Chains A and B, each alone.
Chain A
């Protein structure tokens, strides 16, 4: 019995140890549970939510772009699409075949759908066709019972009603590129059907018109299937852009430019700086880009020597030619080197040192004052004064009138041109400025380059009584006014401005004026301005000896034709700045074009009412 008792005691002891070990392990397990649930609980809660919650974004509607009267320039139109959910269609191939009996389907797209259906989870809807007509939509709707898994879905597609006419202003949207993603980290860019502004105002005001994406938190299971919606925020439509542009004038300008081979024009308000129209020809249809342009068509546009993608009105940089003479003249008056009655004799050429500078009229203009020099576009008058003015003072005057400035314009494609002076030449070319170069600059040749927009602004400042207007195009972002209409005075002598304006008046309205041929008979529509013919290629002595004369080579060597004008003559309101690339002659090509534009815009008179802002 003793032995048994001992064994029983030993067993009790050892069973206790076993029990203690079991208890200890339970405690360890409990501790582990506490660690996971109490200490690290929050971390795992987050991970569990990441598992189950799929944040789904909905594409916001893009803000519209409208003209000053509310005419749409960029709108969202409904895009009807046929979608199919593979798992709901027992026989996908068969269903697609049935569908092709009702509407036209692209073989390639069908193949793509079939391929995708094998790769992607079967509950993800696939697009079979988009851009359905109303008839197609109703045909599909009626036949839906025979088309298992198919449905009609409405998306939005950006449309530009004026197409070519506003391509350079409004720009276009397109699929998000890798580059876009690098610049902008907004999550909405990752939505498959999201489109981003690529050019023009669509790009410049992308952030404002984009809107805010909606989000919905979807609970998904392990395979990604949506189980239910947890909560949702509606998307917010982007802000509407209301422009100073008048669609009618814009369309007219673009059509009229189309009579030339390559030309651009700006029509703006002399006092407020509002742009009424800005055209550049040739153009392109931005609607083609929204859905992705095909490669051949794109290549054709990209290789066109007249650069249809360029908005030449703001990014074309040309020597201003004789349109610069107002600046030289005004500089002479302001520096008191000349008075309105100062007379210069033009023999047809001007000797400076060893060099001879020719007036365009070889026989000479005889005795000319500033007013006459502008009217007849006499070069000698300006040659003579220029060396006394000096390039630095000339450049300063040019800058005061907006040359060399991009005005922080609404379109980022606006270029600054070039206003050369002594420092510029030293820094850029490394040589000192030669006085002869001032002579060339005085008639807008040489290093000086301007955009049509700059020439328009220059003209506005000359004829509006000397107010430093700046150009603008976007009037309102949403309901917020973003433009100025009052501009500070430049403190110029009114008498000097009057002389310049009288000269410009006579350019068109005096029988000796260079643009007299473009005179408008009706007195109330009469306009003033200045012609310009800018040499594209300097003619070397050797070429001159070979008989090559400027302007008679092939098209790309021909002179640019320029005209800056204003109307009405007495109380200027509208400014037109026109450049016809290789148009040969300012008086022959640019002046008639400017006449047509100024005539149209005066009759249309978009300035008569303020920009209309509607809620939305």
Chain B
């Protein structure tokens, strides 16, 4: 093992690294963020304050961080995968313990200089750790339950803690990203079928363990009109806002549902609603096209990477990003229950943007160092 240890000395110059970056990918990320600035400017009734300007600052800082991560040799990230996972997991335990000893259900941990949400960080490090775990897997490994079980444990352990918080949305995202990693690594299809059947069978059990407010959300989702002034209100108003946008929308700054505050949480979870109320179906499809292009860049980049760790990491993180998008937009359009998930890069808030940009940084790092030699076996 020692003889095969990767050389961590940079064999690429800074300029070469910058040239190897996918600037198209970065352009579409910036375009996504710009849609967010416009939507936040409108959410404030045509004002940079209080949201758009801060979001812009965060994005610029986050972009710097993303490039910094991108320029660090991928072998460092390979080496750091497990330590980061363990660090994230410990933070998650701390948050959970804090909750247990009577400080209330808290998802945050104050590191002094930054408010960190460990469950958010876990979305990244689980993918990172799994990419490393599966990097060396042989096809026979992938068929072996003995090999796969530790990987499953890498998912189950943090998910159990996140569920305790309780945060259904994040738990689901971690699980789904993890399953995708299994799939990409070549686990037999049969396992997924069996797993799927077991999951469906487990639904009644899950229901029994759900908190009342989570049950309520599911029930409200199934029939939002049953409680139009309570929890169904958000989704009804959101659908009204979206539907009333029509093809061309009501025009920039003209969204009545948002401007007159019928739309709740318009700057955070319901920012997509505001966007399509004002820009209509055309604006919505434009946003989907931009996001789809970001996904596509991820897949194209993955194909150019020469080593499994990088390929798995890139697609895993892209899937992670797409899960944010799917959960949020499906929620505000009334396709799934309200789970309280933001639309990354666009919703106001630093946490999801940070997570996503860190993910994009890792993707870029893998791509910049696409020809790097990573240990095999």
Q: Could you list which residues of chain A lie within 8 angstroms of chain B, going by C-beta atoms?
A: 3-4, 6-8, 10-12, 14-19, 22-23, 25-26, 28-30, 32-34, 36-38, 40-41, 43-45, 47-49, 51-52, 219-223, 227
Contacts and interface: CB of A to CB of B under 8 A. Distances in A.
Given A11-B308, A37-B284, A45 B276 contact: no
B262 A222 contact: yes
Interface stretch (B35-43, B164-172, B241-249): B241-249
Contacts of B329: 29
Given A26-B288, A223-B261, A51 B240 contact: yes
Given A15-B302, A41-B245, 4 more contacts: A11-B308, A33-B288, A41-B246, A45-B243
A30 B281 CA distance: 9
A49 B257 CA distance: 9
Closest CB pairs A-B (n = 9): A44-B243, A48-B244, A221-B260, A222-B261, A41-B246, A37-B281, A44-B244, A45-B244, A36-B243
Interface in B336-377: 376
* Interface residues of chain A: helix, strand, loop or mixed (majority): helix
Contacts of B138: 3
A51 B330 contact: no
B25 interface: no
Given A19-B299, A219-B260, A37 B184 contact: no
Interface in B158-188: 180, 183-186
A33 B256 contact: no
Contacts of B185: 11
Contact of B243 (A18, A22, A41, A52): A41
B74 interface: no
Contact of A10 (B186, B245, B281, B288): B186
A527 B299 CA distance: 115
A443 to B, nearest CB: 75
A210 B329 CA distance: 53
Interface string B283-307: 0110010011001100100110000
A40 B319 CA distance: 31
A37 B311 CA distance: 38
Contact of A18 (B180, B241, B303): B180
Contacts of B124: none
A22 B376 CA distance: 30
B240 A37 contact: no
B33 interface: no
A106 B70 CA distance: 76
Given A30-B285, A222-B260, A18 B242 contact: no
B315 A29 contact: no
B319 A52 contact: no
Contacts of A28: 335
Interface string B214-244: 0000000000000000000000010111111
A17 B280 CA distance: 31
A31 to B, nearest CB: 10
B326 interface: yes
B246 A15 contact: no
Interface of B: 138-139, 180, 183-186, 237, 239-247, 256-257, 260-262, 276, 280-281, 284-285, 288, 291-292, 295-296, 299, 302-303, 308, 311-312, 315, 318-319, 322, 326, 329-330, 333, 335, 376
Nearest to A32: B333
B276 A33 contact: yes
A52 B240 contact: no
B179 to A, nearest CB: 10
Contacts of A12: 303
A227 B261 CA distance: 12
* Interface residues of chain B: helix, strand, loop or mixed (majority): helix
B240 A47 contact: yes
A221 B237 CA distance: 13
A6 B139 CA distance: 9
A309 B139 CA distance: 103
Contacts of A7: 139, 186, 308
Contacts of A29: 288, 326, 329-330, 333, 335
A33 B291 CA distance: 15
Given A7-B308, A15-B303, A45-B244, A51 B257 contact: yes
A40 B246 CA distance: 9
A32 B235 CA distance: 14
Given A37-B247, A48-B257, A222-B262, A15 B186 contact: no
B260 A14 contact: no
Nearest to B287: A33
A475 B311 CA distance: 96
A100 to B, nearest CB: 37
A392 to B, nearest CB: 70
11 contacts: A14-B186, A15-B302, A18-B180, A29-B333, A30-B285, A37-B276, A41-B244, A41-B245, A41-B247, A44-B241, A51-B256
Given A29-B326, A30-B285, A30-B288, A36 B308 contact: no
B323 to A, nearest CB: 9
A467 B373 CA distance: 124
Given A45-B246, A222-B260, A223-B261, A32 B180 contact: no
B46 to A, nearest CB: 14
A554 to B, nearest CB: 66
Contact of B285 (A33, A45, A222): A33
B162 to A, nearest CB: 23
Nearest to B312: A11
Given A14-B184, A34-B281, A44 B242 contact: yes
B295 A11 contact: no
A51 B262 CA distance: 8
A37 B280 contact: yes
Given A22-B322, A26-B292, A222-B262, A15 B244 contact: no
B240 A48 contact: yes
Contacts of A36: 239, 242-243, 333
Contacts of B245: 37, 41
Nearest to B308: A7
B262 to A, nearest CB: 5
A33 B281 contact: yes
B281 A38 contact: yes
A523 B28 CA distance: 111
A227 B284 CA distance: 28
B276 to A, nearest CB: 7
